[in-house]
């Protein structure tokens, strides 16, 4: 509950500034106007098809990134040759703003969902690969020696020892990737899309409907916040032995 108090304070100050004229409607619509627009869009149901389109892209891309990024990160940690081959590529991709790659992928893969999902997956893979690699490298050798002493074959060490021990760091990387998936999703829908929350934001902003535009932004922010809270709550339940940051 205490996390919501600063947000409520900002909303109250925003509304007060609008009501007193310190914040003219031409600069920023009042908070109450934005909320009325949000309730209208949710009440009519018009926002839900765009929500489904956006989260299909973000969810598909994130799922690919989790699957491929985890495997690649673990492989880099266990096989030096893979690390030497992949690490330079990873280091070159890491500092690049991922939305800058969207036009390039649209040229290669078209303007449909494939290019958007690909960019989301590539953007989300980076933190997952890094967290998987670091998690696997940080596994205590005593655990591996103990597993070997108990007869665990080398082919099963990765899945029975390394992966479970690295899960907390992998989960932290996935949490970062969730936020990245939403950012890149909206950015890709700005450029070329006929459906999606990013498309709505761009469309409303283009016709000067600032209250509707901010309503979609607030809606997306709320969903992102709830997803993060649900994810961390799930981690605390299923990985109770690890203290995850709130």
Domains and CATH numbers, the chain: 51-238 (1.10.3720.10)
- What's residue 69's pLDDT? 92
* pLDDT tens figures, 119-131: 899 999 989 999 9
- What's residue 46's pLDDT? 87
- What's residue 233's pLDDT? 86
Asked if residues 148 and 157 have their Cβ atoms less than 8 Å apart, the reply is yes
User: What's the mean pLDDT when you consider all of the chain?
Assistant: 83
- What's residue 111's pLDDT? 77
* pLDDT tens figures, 144-200: 667 666 666 666 666 667 777 788 889 989 999 999 999 999 988 887 777 889 889
Residue 12 CB burial class (10 angstroms; 0-12, 13-18, ≥19): exposed
* Regions in the chain scoring below 70 on pLDDT: 1-3, 140-145, 147-160, 240-246
Query: Which pTM does this prediction carry?
Result: 0.84
- What's residue 1's pLDDT? 58
- What's residue 149's pLDDT? 66
Distance in angstroms (rounded) separating the CA atoms of residues 78 and 138: 11
């Amino acid at each position: 509950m205490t996390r919501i108090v600063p947000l409520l304070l900002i909303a109250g100050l925003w509304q007060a500034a609008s009501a007193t004229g310190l914040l003219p409607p031409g600069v920023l619509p009042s908070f109450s106007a934005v909320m009325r627009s949000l309730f209208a869009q949710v009440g009519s149901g018009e926002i839900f098809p765009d929500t489904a389109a956006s989260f299909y892209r973000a969810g598909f891309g994130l799922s690919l990134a989790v699957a491929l990024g985890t495997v690649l990160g673990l492989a880099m940690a266990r096989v030096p040759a893979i690390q030497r081959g992949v690490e330079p590529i990873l280091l070159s991709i890491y500092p690049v703003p991922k939305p800058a790659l969207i036009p390039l992928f649209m040229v290669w893969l078209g303007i449909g969902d494939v290019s958007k999902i690909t960019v989301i997956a590539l953007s989300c893979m980076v933190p997952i690969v890094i967290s998987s690699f670091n998690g696997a490298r940080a596994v205590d050798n005593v655990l591996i020696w103990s597993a070997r002493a108990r007869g665990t074959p080398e082919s099963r060490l990765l899945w029975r020892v390394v992966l479970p021990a690295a899960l907390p760091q992998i989960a932290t990387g996935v949490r970062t990737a969730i936020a990245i998936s939403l950012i890149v999703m909206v950015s890709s829908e700005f450029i070329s899309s006929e459906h999606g929350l990013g498309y709505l934001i761009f469309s409303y902003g283009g016709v000067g409907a600032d209250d509707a535009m901010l309503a979609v932004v607030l809606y997306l922010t709320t969903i992102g916040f709830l997803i993060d809270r649900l994810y961390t709550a799930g981690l605390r339940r299923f990985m109770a032995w690890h203290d995850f940051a709130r």
